[in-house]
Amino acid sequence: MVRRFSDTIHVRSGVLDGTEGAPVQFLWRGRLYVVRDVLSHWRERSAWWEHSAVAAVHGDGDGPGSTAGREQGGVGTAVRRVLEVGDLEREVWRVEASAGRAGVVGVYDLAHPARPGTAAVSEAPATPVPEDEWQLLRVSD
């Protein structure tokens, strides 16, 4: 059975099975999960059409003409929203993990926004992902 989520999780990355930047532990709903194995790793397109920058172009939300993007007590300039690489793609890790050291092993899909220099063909060093930008997408048990 596969269950879908979009829960924010905290992830500690490191080196696992020779893969740098792999999740090695994550905290979900107050429990610490230890990653046993990386099963797969890929990039996928995000729902860019749901981003607030796209809505602003169409005059919806707090686009450049609204007061929501203005500084308080400042000159009153609007902040222009821009789609970035992380808004267009996310990096997904499918891992086997268990709660604690001897818990039951399950399969989890963890994702974070893609960063410049993290593509498989890139030779630039990967930029670390802040812990609060990870999401749990799916759990298979």
Q: What residue spans define the domains of the chain?
A: 2-46+89-140
pLDDT score for 117: 56
pTM of the model: 0.67
- DSSP 8-state symbol, 129: P
Amino acid at 108: Y
Q: Is 115 exposed, middle or buried (0-12, 13-18, 19+ CB in 10 A)?
A: buried
pLDDT score for 72: 46
Answer for the pair 101, 109: CB distance below 8 angstroms, yes or no: no
Residues 106, 137, 80, CA angle at the centre, nearest 5°? Answer: 155
pLDDT score for 93: 96
Amino acid at 112: H
pLDDT score for 54: 76
DSSP 39-92: EEEEEEE--GGGSHHHHHHTT-SS-TTSSTTSPTTS--PPPPP---HHHHEEEE
Nearest to 94 by CA among 20, 34, 22, 11: 22
User: Would you give per-residue pLDDT tens digits along the chain (141 residues)?
Assistant: 999 999 999 999 999 988 889 999 999 999 999 999 999 999 998 776 776 777 777 777 654 444 444 444 445 555 546 666 556 888 999 999 999 777 889 999 999 988 765 554 333 445 555 556 899 999 997
